[in-house]
Amino acid sequence: MTKTPHISVQHLNVHIGNQHILNDININIPDKKVTSIIGPSGCGKTTLLRSFNRLLDNTPGVSITGKVLVDGEDIYDPKAEVTHIRKKMGLLSQRPYPLPMSIYDNVAYGPRIHGIRKKQELDQLVEEQLKATGLWNEVKDRLNASATRLSIGQQQRLCLARGLAVSPEIILGDESTSALDPVSTSIIEDLFISLKEKYSIVLVTHILRQARRVSDYIVFVYGGKIIEFGPTEDVLLNPKEELTREYVKGYIS
């Protein structure tokens, strides 16, 4: 927390319909670290994560107040360019959702949208990102096959490669391993750890053990509020708040 924060959330409130989902959130997500968001089901973890890249905007009936500064710029400023903000952040969802096209096109999709048309340049990018996620050797002979042919674990890595191809600064993951078997899970976890050299990473997870394995910082959310935020070991092993202690007990038992 010595560096300047990468994402700084200030007095964020989110309502959906007349429900108050997030309640006065204030947090600074550190740069080039892994931060995990934990909390019971329905506490607002996903909502918080989605507020970072303005995906919340598409939710029916949502109203958002407060600020989210990314690199010092308020993304909820009406003048802010939403596609630009989103390009900065790669999203990895719970289950992999490959786009309905070939493996190659999945990775090339983002760069193409942002104007890269040259075949050579694209080829290079695709290869680079598939290598970064360890997929290259597994798929290099069938780049034109449909992405849905891959196993779930491979699909999830493909989605990560796809996100990395638009050179984001931040990676957001929402329970990105919960559909995977242990082998695939540990590959993804290792990837997260290796990627934090270049990216800031925010993960939502239910598995406290995973949070411990991969993250530097932990945010505990409960009932739409941030209860505790601090370095991993502190929050998991030595929580300050009663609520946190209660929650992480399940992890210790």
Partner 1 sequence: MRRRKAEELFFKILMLIAAIIVCGSFFLIVGTIFAKGLPYMNLDMLTKTPGGGFYIGKEGGILNAIIGSLYVAGGATILGLLISIPVAIFINMYMNGKKFLSDSLRVAFDVLFGIPSIVYGAFGFLIMVYFGFRASLLGGIIAVTLLVIPILVRTLDEVIGTVPLELRDAALSLGATRWEMAKVVLRQIRPGIFTAILLSFGRAIGDVASVLFTAGFSDNIPTSLHEPAATLPLAIFFQLSSPVEEVQGRGYASALILTIIVLVITVLSEILIKKFSKHKS
Partner 2 sequence: MQIRILKDKILSKLMLVFTLASVSLLLIIGIGLYVHSIPILEKSSWGTLVTSSIWKPLKGLFGFYPFIMGTLWVTGIAIVIALPLCLLTALFVVEYAHAGIRRVLVPFINLLSGIPPVIFGVWGVLFIIPLIQNYIAPHFVEFSTGYSVLAGGIVLAVMIFPLIVSIISEVLNTIPQELKDASLSLGATKWETIKKIVLRKALPGIIAAVVLAISRAFGETIAVLMVCGNNAVVPHSVFDPGYPLPALIANNYGEMLSIPLYDSALMFAALLLFIIILLFNIISRLILARLERKLTS
Please pick, from the candidates 3, 11, 114, 209, the single residue that binds partner 1 as defined by CB under 8 A: 114
Tokens of 46: 């996903």
45 binds partner 1 (CB under 8 A): no
Residue 52's contacts (CB-CB under 8 Å, 6 or more residues apart) are 7, 68, 70, 75, 89, 170, 172, 202
Q: At residue 219, what are phi and psi to the nearest 5 degrees?
A: -110, 125
With contacts defined by CB under 8 A, name the span among 123-131, 159-167, 186-194, 213-221 that binds partner 1. Answer: 159-167
Q: Which two three-digit tokens encode residue 216?
A: 């530097």
Minimal distance, residue 181 CB to ligand ATP, in Å = 6
Site membership for ligand ATP, residue 45 (CB under 6 A): yes
Is residue 99 involved in binding partner 2 (CB under 8 A)?
Answer: yes
- CA dist list (Å): 208 to 71, 231, 235: 29, 14, 11
What residue type is assigned to position 230 of the chain? G
Q: Tally Cβ neighbours within 10 Å of residue 13.
A: 15
Beta bridge partners of 64: 14
Angle formed at CA 54 by CA 48 and CA 55, multiple of 5 degrees: 85
Contact residues toward a copy of itself (CB under 8 A) are: 39-42, 151-153, 178-186, 206-209, 246-251, 253
Applying CB under 8 A, which part among 23-31, 35-43, 155-163, 242-250 lies near partner 2?
A: 155-163
| CA-based nearest residue to 11, from 250, 226, 228, 194 | 226
* Nearest residue to 25 (alpha-carbon basis) of 38, 44, 42, 40: 44
Rg (CA), the chain: 18
SS percent in the chain: helix, strand, coil, step 5: 40, 25, 35
The closest alpha carbon to 153, from 145, 161, 163, 164, belongs to: 161
Coil, strand or helix: which one is 169?
coil
Question: Measured from the CB atom, is 105 or 228 closer to partner 2?
Answer: 105
Least distance to partner 2, CB of residue 154, Å? 15
- Encoded one letter per residue, x for contact with partner 2 by CB under 8 A and - for no contact, window 45-84 reads --------x-x--x-xx-------------------x-xx
Site for ligand ATP in 63-82 (CB under 6 A): none
Q: Which does 163 bind (CB under 5 to 8 A by kind): Mg ion, partner 1, ligand ATP, none?
A: partner 1
Can you give the binding site for partner 1, defined by CB under 8 A? 53, 55, 57-62, 81, 83-84, 86-87, 89-91, 93-95, 97, 99-101, 109-110, 113-114, 146-148, 159, 162-163, 166, 172
Which residues contact partner 2 (rule: CB under 8 A)? 53, 55, 58, 60-61, 81, 83-84, 86-87, 89-91, 93-95, 97, 99-101, 109-110, 113-115, 146, 148-149, 159, 162-163, 165-166, 172
Question: Which residues bind to ligand ATP, rule: CB under 6 A?
Answer: 16-17, 19, 21, 39, 41-47, 59
